[in-house]
Amino acid sequence: MSPRSQNRRKFLLLAVVAAIVGLVIGLLIGRFGIRSDNDDYKITGISETFVQDADPYISAEIMDNINSENIRQYLRELTEHPHLAGTDADYKQAKDLQEFWRSVGLDETFITPYDVLLSYPETKDESKMNRIFVYDSAGQVVWKSALYEPILDPSENKSNVVPPFNAYSASGDVSSTDLVYVNYGRVEDFRWLAQNTDINITGKIVLARYGKNFRGDKAYQAEILGAKGIILYSDPEDYANNGEATQVYPHGWFLPESGTQRGTIFRGYIGDPLTPGYPATETAYRLKGNGTNSVVLPKIPCHPIGYGAAKILLSYMSGDQVPASWRGGLNITYRFGGPLKQSGWKIRMRISTKNTRKKMHNVFGVIRGSIEPDRYVLLGNHLDAWVFGAIDPSSGTAVMKEVSRVMGNLVQQKKWRPRRTIIFCGWGAEEFKLIGSTEWVEQYIKNLGSRSVAYLNLDIASEGNYSMRLRATPLMRSVTYAAAKKVPNPEETDTRFKTVYDKWMYAFPNADKSRPRDFRLGLLSDYASFIQRAGIPVADFRYTYNRNELKLPSYPLYHSKYETFKAVDEFMDRGFKCHRASGQVWAEVARNLADSLIIPFQVEDYAKTLKDGVDNLENEFGLLMKKNGIELELLYKAISVFAADAADFQERAKHVDKKNPFAIRSLNDQLTLMERAFIDPEGLPGRPLARNIVFADSSTNAYADAIFPGLIDGMFEIEGSADEERRWEIVKKHFSVVIHTIDSAASTLRDVSAFMPL
């Protein structure tokens, strides 16, 4: 070998060695030496996937795929037959939905049954069926109510239509020579009657119109004032736009004279009447009819009728004419009543409705979260209907099927998997008092309370085609507005409004026109136990009618047999565009909550709502409270501390280190758990299961939109109370609990390593 080639080999060797050394150094530097943009962190094997924000492309993909015609088809199928809670048809619907969810690609589905107390009328023996009779002095039947609502459209001609009844009514056969009209049957109506007339309802039958308050409260007031029975009816002023034949079903969406509103009158809190506070499982303790742990159910018969029947009853009545605010829309003179006009006549209620233990079923479908499977975004709708339920609830069920189909398919196609777990919930026995959802929350409150991001309810997707409306806790506002701004206005005829949000702002602006106004939460659908018992942020979405023009207690066909597919398809949402828009908003809110790295809640929105609540209190009761030693300033102070903490929190949130998975998680925990602080285990005074200090429903109608129900109710009860001193003590204690609760909520928003000092 020549020296030269030797040299060359030496150099080649050198080059190779240099290359290898370079490579190794490079490898080492590359592997261990290059620091991330945040120099505090060593780069090794932890994936950035964990802290990536969602791909916004999927938002449009989901919304665009939601199809009106699918919703229409689903609704047609769902409303083919009655599906009353606790019946085979209802169970079949749960099983069908489970099967549907399997087929569209949800990861997991299951059914949870509960054994609960439901209530049904007699349907077999006509001689026992619920009926109202009027007899003349010879004991002959002058008039009797219909057993069923007549068939007005052939599509209603189905078996298993339950006759009109009020669930949990006492059974009984009661008669009276007197019939008294009590307007809406509110506390204030009975009080007015007592103060302005000499009519005593003790031992009599009363007639009240539906609307303004919960029907169970009408029956309860009648009961405690000694009435023997109560008849409820839908006045055409409230439900039929005063009853023009061309506008009522089957020609329009208003209630016909035979249409009758069913509905529960259970006035205990929410859930199965036999197992308050606990799930109605196999091993549950059930209240007995007597003794210490007795169940509280209505004690007098209660029965609903249509305005055709009511007009006849009103025509039999005697007494003075009622004042204008008591008059309804029937072409007849409304009188207070008393003894029936014809001497010797009698009115009789024959009610054989019976309470009975039944199995009911919830059904669930799960899309597992990719990164945070232990954080849940829940979407729910109830499955049970009084009859066909084309609006309540199947409009929502149809939309839920479509939203779950779209999301499930994306998961199936591996185009998408949400960061957090999405759970679709099909509830049973909502109509009897939110039973399915409440039992489930009672059973799993520990898991739900610590893991849920939000519960998003869609009971009725569309009860009209005018605008979106929202019932929600303040946290849910901005995320809902953001969604509504993405969804095109479904009205094709009106081009003034580009988006659902634009129309909404026009339709229902809040007082200062800065945003859409809030509708009260109350106990109106399955979100109730989530917010009232567990303190989970909730929202209830719906497309509604023009509430500015139509002063209706609800959409007119509500809970009647005439809630049919035909009514929706032909009169209420032709083309199902509003159904679709509801679904798009609902789905986009869910996606945003399930996918975003930082959960899009605005805690500052809460401060404003709390402040408004105290302003209301001050306006209504400020002087009275002050005179009795309650300083509202203390509550204002607590709220301003909360507001400052909320503002600080939002500011800190902007600077969270997005490369730090634990900082992300911690921030999100604060965002989702703040609302829990408004839950107090002792509940409101005298209502231990009403545990939400801010949003539990006030039991007075006058202040139904107000928050702080414990204080509102307290002040309301103090007025004219016999035991005023004792009531003031209760109010004073509750006032301090409210302040404590707000302080507690504020503390959850502070720097997590320094929350303690105020």
**Residues between 682 and 741 that touch a copy of itself (CB under 8 A):** 682, 688, 691, 725-726, 729-730, 732-733, 735-737, 739-740
Interface positions, 256-285, toward a copy of itself (CB under 8 A): 277-279, 281, 283-285
**224 in contact with a copy of itself (CB under 8 A):** no
In the complex, minimum distance from the CB of residue 738 to a copy of itself, in angstroms, rounded to a whole number: 10
Q: Is 49 in the site for a copy of itself (CB under 8 A)?
A: yes
Q: 260 to each of 148, 222, 266, 476, how far by Cα in Å?
A: 9, 20, 18, 35
If binding is defined by CB under 8 A, does position 29 make contact with a copy of itself? yes
Which residue lies nearer to a copy of itself by CB, 173 or 729? 729
* Closest separation in Å from C-beta 638 to a copy of itself: 8
Residues 564-603 that bind a copy of itself (CB under 8 A): none
Cβ proximity to a copy of itself, 192 vs 278, nearer residue: 278
Point out which span in 4-12, 319-327, 477-485, 499-507 binds a copy of itself (CB under 8 A): 4-12
Closest Cα to residue 619, out of 743, 740, 706, 721? Answer: 706
Bridging pattern class, strands 178-181 and 205-209: parallel
Distance spanning both ends of the chain, measured CA to CA: 87
Which residue number, 10 or 498, has a Cβ lying nearer to a copy of itself? Answer: 10
Contact between 57 and a copy of itself by CB under 8 A: the answer reads no
Q: Is 98 in the site for a copy of itself (CB under 8 A)?
A: no
Binding residues among 421-440 for a copy of itself as defined by CB under 8 A: 421
8 A C-beta contact, residue 603 and residue 671 = yes
Residue of the chain from 453, 456, 673, 690 that contacts a copy of itself (CB under 8 A) = 673
Q: Select from 444, 506, 571, 636 the one that contacts a copy of itself (CB under 8 A).
A: 444
CA distance linking residue 691 with residue 586, whole number of Å: 27
Site stretch for a copy of itself (CB under 8 A), options 28-36, 182-190, 385-393, 582-590: 28-36
Measured in degrees and rounded to the nearest 5, phi and psi for residue 445 equal -60, -30
SS3 at position 24: helix
- Scanning 184-192, 361-369, 410-418, 571-579 for contacts with a copy of itself by CB under 8 A, the matching segment is 361-369
Look up residue 20 and give its amino acid: I
7/315 with CB nearer a copy of itself: 7
Q: Which residue is listed with tokens 């490579």?
A: 23
Of these, 53, 69, 244, 374, which contacts a copy of itself (CB under 8 A)? 374
Q: Whole-angstrom Cα distance, residue 48 to residue 375?
A: 19
Contacts of 612 (CB under 8 A, 6+ apart): 707
Contact present, 588 and 483 (Cβ < 8 Å): yes
Q: Which of 5, 6, 46, 514 binds a copy of itself (CB under 8 A)?
A: 46
Residue with tokens 């969804």: 487
Give the shortest CB-744-to-a copy of itself separation in angstroms: 5
For 691-721, give one letter per residue: b (16+ CB within 10 A) or e: bbbbbbbbbbbebbebbbbbbbbbbbbbeee
Tokens 């009859």 -> residue = 387
Q: Identify the three-state secondary structure at position 581.
A: helix
Answer yes or no whether residue 364 interacts with a copy of itself by CB under 8 A: yes
Report the nearest approach of a copy of itself to the CB of residue 458 (Å). Answer: 20
CA distance readout (Å), 150 to 146, 210, 306, 670: 8, 21, 11, 55
Q: Which residue has the tokens 């009115």?
A: 347
CB 42, min distance to a copy of itself, A: 5
- In the list 414, 446, 513, 654, the residue contacting a copy of itself (rule: CB under 8 A) is 446
Which span (35-43, 246-254, 556-564, 645-653) binds a copy of itself, by CB under 8 A?
Answer: 35-43
- Decide if residue 636 touches a copy of itself (CB under 8 A): no
Query: Please, which residue, 81 or 419, has the CB nearer to a copy of itself?
Result: 419
- Which residues, 6+ apart, have CB-to-CB distance to 434 below 8 Å? 270, 271, 427, 523, 525, 526, 528, 529
Quick check: 14 binds a copy of itself (CB under 8 A)?
A: yes
Residue type, 631: E
**Residue 251: CB minimum distance to a copy of itself, A:** 46
Binding mask 99-118 for a copy of itself (x = CB under 8 A): --------xx-x-x------
Tokens of 401: 């099927």
* Binds a copy of itself (CB under 8 A): choice among 1, 2, 37, 494: 37
Three-class DSSP category at 211? coil
CB of 646: closest distance to a copy of itself in angstroms? 15
- Residue nearer to a copy of itself on the CB measure, 269 or 481: 269
Q: How far is the CB of 276 from a copy of itself (least distance, A)?
A: 10
Asked if 509 interacts with a copy of itself (CB under 8 A), we say no
Contact between 289 and a copy of itself per CB under 8 A: no
Residues between 521 and 550 with contacts to a copy of itself, criterion CB under 8 A: none
- Region near a copy of itself per CB under 8 A, out of 40-48, 232-240, 310-318, 601-609: 40-48
CB of 474 to a copy of itself, least distance (A): 18
Q: Please identify, among the stretches 42-50, 327-335, 462-470, 551-559, the one whose residues bind a copy of itself according to the rule CB under 8 A.
A: 42-50
HEC per residue, 713-730:
HHHHHHCCCCCHHHHHHH
Measured between alpha carbons, how far is residue 65 from residues 70, 177, 320, 415, 737 in Å?
10, 62, 61, 13, 48
Contact call for residue 296 and a copy of itself (CB under 8 A) = no
Strands (DSSP E) contained in 293-332 are: 302-305
Under DSSP, the state recorded for 598 is S
Tokens 């059914």 found at: 111
Number of residues in contact with a copy of itself, rule: CB under 8 A?
A: 111
Characterise 442 by phi-psi region: left (phi > 0), alpha (psi -120 to 50), beta (else).
alpha
User: In the range 447-506, which residues lie near a copy of itself by CB under 8 A?
Assistant: 447, 450-451
Binders in 397-416 for a copy of itself, by CB under 8 A: none
Is residue 752 involved in binding a copy of itself (CB under 8 A)? yes
Residue placing its CB nearer to a copy of itself in the complex, 139 or 291: 291
Task: Decide if residue 676 touches a copy of itself (CB under 8 A).
Answer: yes
Please name the residues in contact with 130: beta carbons below 8 A apart, sequence gap of 6 or more: 121, 122, 147, 163, 164, 165, 303, 350, 351, 352, 353
